[in-house]
Structure 1
Amino acid sequence: MLVKKQAFSAAAEKGYLLGYEQGLRDGACESLVRLIQPAAPIKHDVCILYIPQGFEAIDQGILEALRQSVREVHVADSKQMAEQASLIRPDWMLVLNGLHVFPENHLEQIDQIRAMGIQTAIWFADDPYVTEETITIAPRYDAVLTHELSTVQLYLDLGCRSVHYMPLAVHPGWFKPMRVEEKYRSDICFIGQAFWNRVELFDALAPYLAGKRVFIAGGLWDRMKNYSMLKPFIRMGWLPVEESIRYYNGAKIVINLHRTTEAGSDNRNTLNLPGRSINPRTYEIAACGTLQLTDQREDLPHYYRVGLELDTFKTAEELQSKMAYYLKHEDERRAMALRGLRRTLQEHTFTTRVQQLAAVLSW
């Protein structure tokens, strides 16, 4: 009986401490979000026809920002771009990415729209992983925006006259701090496809992660040599955005590992352009008020202060060491995550980014 009471008491104390830590985090995030009230965006006197890619969180973030930032916004499916442009007669048509689900006559439609005197812009969100395709698309548009530094010169060399580096951002109406149920909580979380560089990393980390509370989601994870060791923690397949947000909020640490850019079965990048810029997941994790450990990209320091607003790693050994450290240092982990949240809300929302886009396109 005494052993049972002691076990119950230990479990209750552990539960209390976990609840206390979670409460501190939730309360601090709520206070910070209330404190940061962004200024109303400048309203530009233009009509925009927006063509979504189907990247739900990005499309909705851009659309919400456009509605705040321009006089008039319309949305059309890529199959009816030219038809809708002829009816609406927008000042600009803005296309996200222009890949995957776009019709075979995509570029013919762009030619028709430009012939109407309507300005066209494409914002590439998959660079540099599909440059075999984007090099045929970019020259057909009036303006090219890319979130990847390494492809700017590529499009200029193709003869594109208006090329702009335009990083992505986050939709703070979706990705935000929130209280979540126990089932969403973890020590360490990773959400994404198992590209080969990720397989290599998680194979190396598997013995360490097997002793932690872990959540991994995405496809192709059965490529791992140590798949059986981590299988209980892996949710195979696509994870809805709303679920990803909850898992980010419930994690103590979220790993962000950019996919490899090397040409091969996972990429269409025969030019082997490097990845110099950060992915949208960088902003999304930070916007949830959770500590992020990410691999290094060249322009990361332009957007976050490494060691203050998030932290980085180069090797599996360094990542394991930092995970062990931050799991033991709750206050330091929470403070860093809060600083990352503040920076994101102040500088990296789609409302801010669309204002920057409007400036470079002279809306």
Structure 2
Amino acid sequence: MQTKEHGTARASRAGNASGYADGLRDGACEYLVRHLQPAAPPKRDCAVLYVPQGFEAIDQGVIEALRRTVREVYVAEAARMAEHASLVRPDWMLVLNGLHVFPPDHLEQVDAVRSLGIRTAIWFADDPYVTADTMYIAPRYDAVLTHELSTIPMYRERGCANVHYMPLAVDQARFKPMKAEAKYRSDICFIGQAFWNRVEMFDAIAPYLKTRKVFIAGGLWDRLRSYKELKRFIRPGWLPVEESIKYYNGARIVINLHRTTEAGKDNKNVLDLPGRSINPRTYEISACGTLQLTDTREDLPQYYSPGAELETFGSAEELIAKLDHYLTHEDERRAIALRGLRRTLADHTYVRRLQQIAEVLGW
């Protein structure tokens, strides 16, 4: 009887401690979100036709930011962008990525839009993984924006005179802190395709992951040597964006591991350009108020302070050590996550990024 009472008491104390920690996190996140909403910038006297890529996590954020940035915004499907441009006659046509869902006559349509005197810009969000295609797409536009530092010289060498380094950002109306139901909670979370470098890393840390509550989602994870051991943690296939946000919020730590850039390894990086810039997931995880452990890219310190606003790792051994540290140091984990949220809301929303685009393109 006494043992049962002691067990009940321990469970109660653990529940109270967990509830207290959740309350601290939720309250601090709510304060930051409320007080760091991006100010509405003065609208530019410019009409922009936006052509989405079909990236759910990016397109809507860009569209809403455009509506706060310029006088008029139109949205057209890729298959009908020239027709739409001829009807509304915008000052600029801004295209996201120009790949995958774009029709075979994509570039002919761009030529037709330019012949109307409409300026065109493309913002590449998949660099450098698809240079086999983008090296031919970029010269057909008046201006090229890319989130990847390594591709800028390549575009200039191919005759693009107006090339700008433009990082991605986050749709803070979608990626945001929220209370997570029990089914979304984990110690460690990773969401993404099992590219070969990720397979190698997760195989290396599998013995540690087995001791924790883990959630992994994405395709190709059956490539793991340790698949049988980790299968219970894996949700195969694509995870809807709204579900991803819930899992980010429910995790104590989210791992961000950039995909390999090696030509022929799950990409079309035929020029074998290095990956020097961070991915959009970097902003999205931090926008949820969750601690992120990411591998390093050259431009990361421009956007976040490692060790203060997120954490980094360079090897499987370092990743395990930092996972273990922050899973046993709640205050440190929460403080870094909150500083990352604050930095994201202040500097890395699409409203802020569209202001930068408007400036460099002269809207």
> 1:257-272 residue pairs with structure 2 within 5 A?
257-272=257-272
Q: How big is the shift at 1:165? A: 0.4
Which letter does structure 2 place at the counterpart of 1:258? H
User: Which residue matches 2:8?
Assistant: 8
**TM-score calculated relative to the size of structure 2:** 0.99
Whole-angstrom distance in 2 between the partners of 1:144 and 1:310: 30
Which letter does structure 2 place at the counterpart of 1:257? L
User: Which residue matches 1:239?
Assistant: 239
Which letter does structure 1 place at the counterpart of 2:54? G
Report the secondary structure of 1:20's partner residue: helix
User: Which residue matches 1:276?
Assistant: 276
**TM-score calculated relative to the size of structure 1:** 0.99
Per-residue CA deviations over 1:303-323 (Å, capped at 9, x if unaligned) read 001110011000000000001
Q: Please, what is the CA RMSD of the aligned residues?
A: 0.9
Which letter does structure 1 place at the counterpart of 2:201? L
Query: 2:196·2:265 contact (CA, 8 Å) conserved in 1?
Result: no
Which consecutive unaligned segments of at least 5 residues does structure 1 have? none
Query: 1:194·1:221 contact (CA, 8 Å) conserved in 2?
Result: yes
Q: How big is the shift at 1:265? A: 4.2
Query: 1:62·1:354 contact (CA, 8 Å) conserved in 2?
Result: yes
Aligned-pair identity in percent equals: 71
Which letter does structure 2 place at the counterpart of 1:301? P
Per-residue CA deviations over 1:135-179 (Å, capped at 9, x if unaligned) read 010000000000000001110000011100000000000001111
User: Which residue matches 1:250?
Assistant: 250
Query: 1:42·1:355 contact (CA, 8 Å) conserved in 2?
Result: no
Q: How big is the shift at 1:126? A: 0.1
User: Which residue matches 1:29?
Assistant: 29
Number of residue pairs the alignment of both structures matches: 363
Whole-angstrom distance in 1 between the partners of 2:90 and 2:82: 11
> 1:196-345 residue pairs with structure 2 within 5 A?
196-345=196-345
Whole-angstrom distance in 2 between the partners of 1:252 and 1:140: 45
User: Which residue matches 2:148?
Assistant: 148
Whole-angstrom distance in 2 between the partners of 1:268 and 1:54: 20
Query: 1:123·1:145 contact (CA, 8 Å) conserved in 2?
Result: yes
Whole-angstrom distance in 2 between the partners of 1:220 and 1:12: 41
Which letter does structure 2 place at the counterpart of 1:348? H
Which letter does structure 2 place at the counterpart of 1:69? T
Which letter does structure 2 place at the counterpart of 1:217? A
Which consecutive unaligned segments of at least 5 residues does structure 2 have? none
Name the stretch that deviates more: 282-291 or 1-10: 1-10
Report the secondary structure of 2:64's partner residue: helix
Report the secondary structure of 1:332's partner residue: helix
Name the stretch that deviates more: 45-54 or 11-20: 11-20
Which letter does structure 1 place at the counterpart of 2:324? A
User: Which residue matches 1:84?
Assistant: 84
Whole-angstrom distance in 2 between the partners of 1:15 and 1:223: 38
Query: 2:295·2:314 contact (CA, 8 Å) conserved in 1?
Result: yes
User: Which residue matches 1:131?
Assistant: 131
Whole-angstrom distance in 2 between the partners of 1:162 and 1:175: 32
Report the secondary structure of 1:286's partner residue: helix
Whole-angstrom distance in 1 between the partners of 2:290 and 2:141: 38
User: Which residue matches 2:59?
Assistant: 59
Per-residue CA deviations over 1:45-92 (Å, capped at 9, x if unaligned) read 111110000001100110010000000001010000111111111110
Name the stretch that deviates more: 127-136 or 178-187: 178-187
Report the secondary structure of 1:275's partner residue: coil
User: Which residue matches 1:72?
Assistant: 72
Q: How big is the shift at 1:2? A: 3.3
Report the secondary structure of 2:281's partner residue: helix
Report the secondary structure of 1:127's partner residue: coil
